[in-house]
Amino acid sequence: MKLISLNVGLPKLVLSHDEPVSTGIYKYPVTNRIPLRKLNLDGDRQSDLSVHGGPEKAVYGYPSEHYEFWKSEFPNMELPWGMFGENFTTEGMFEDLNIGDLFRVGSATVMVTQPRLPCYKLAIKFGRPDILKRFLQSERTGFYFSVIEEGEVGVGDQLELLEKNNLGVMVSDITRLYTSHQHDVALLRRAIGVEALPESWRGYFRERLERLNAREG
């Protein structure tokens, strides 16, 4: 597992339906080693901090292998590294990572926290509203990391697994719980018990479980 592209970008104004929108989704590859801090990489910022960024979404990773799928979906579209707004374009990492898995990358330590739920700014960048539904349905969501230990990272760095979370709730499990109309009670309970999963997710799953229990009661 390694980092094959490191992408950063500052918020910029773009037009959507003739209205200006500030977004940090436009990321561009850099070749030098840069510091990775608790909230982001140097040279990178998020625009709307109410839904993006923060310590539980400090870094967004996206598998390079998924690009082939999207190239087949959108054959006439240019898809350079960073197209999905990711900071880390990875090789050998997928959504079967467990929430809470710890990795060393460069001199930093990061932890997997959650899948990415796309917002309308991905649709702006792609120029097609259907990308939001297709992105979730594909389950090719990528994954967010929190920064446990700050350090420097660069292209070519290995992502070394330091510790596997033994509760076994995968990134893809969270996406399926969110998108599925079926209710996997056992998985809901396991997800609620994963301390590395942000409280916003755990609270959402608690409410779902409470509604199920009330319905069955």
Interval 35-66: pLDDT, tens: 999 999 999 888 666 566 789 999 999 999 99
Average pLDDT on 194-202 reads 95
Average pLDDT on 76-82 reads 94
Among the listed ranges 16-30, 39-53, 90-104, which one has the minimum average pLDDT value?
39-53
What are the φ/ψ torsions at residue 126 (nearest 5 degrees)?
-80, -15
Residue 175 has pLDDT above 90, yes or no: yes
Which residue segments constitute the domains of the chain, with CATH numbers given?
2-168 (2.40.33.20)
Contact yes or no for 177/167 (Cβ under 8 A): no
Q: With pLDDT > 70 as the criterion, what percentage of the chain qualifies?
A: 95
The residue with tokens 């959650």 is: 114
Residue 217 has pLDDT above 60, yes or no: no
Contact yes or no for 1/158 (Cβ under 8 A): yes
pLDDT of residue 74: 94
Contact yes or no for 148/140 (Cβ under 8 A): no
Residue 14 has pLDDT above 90, yes or no: no
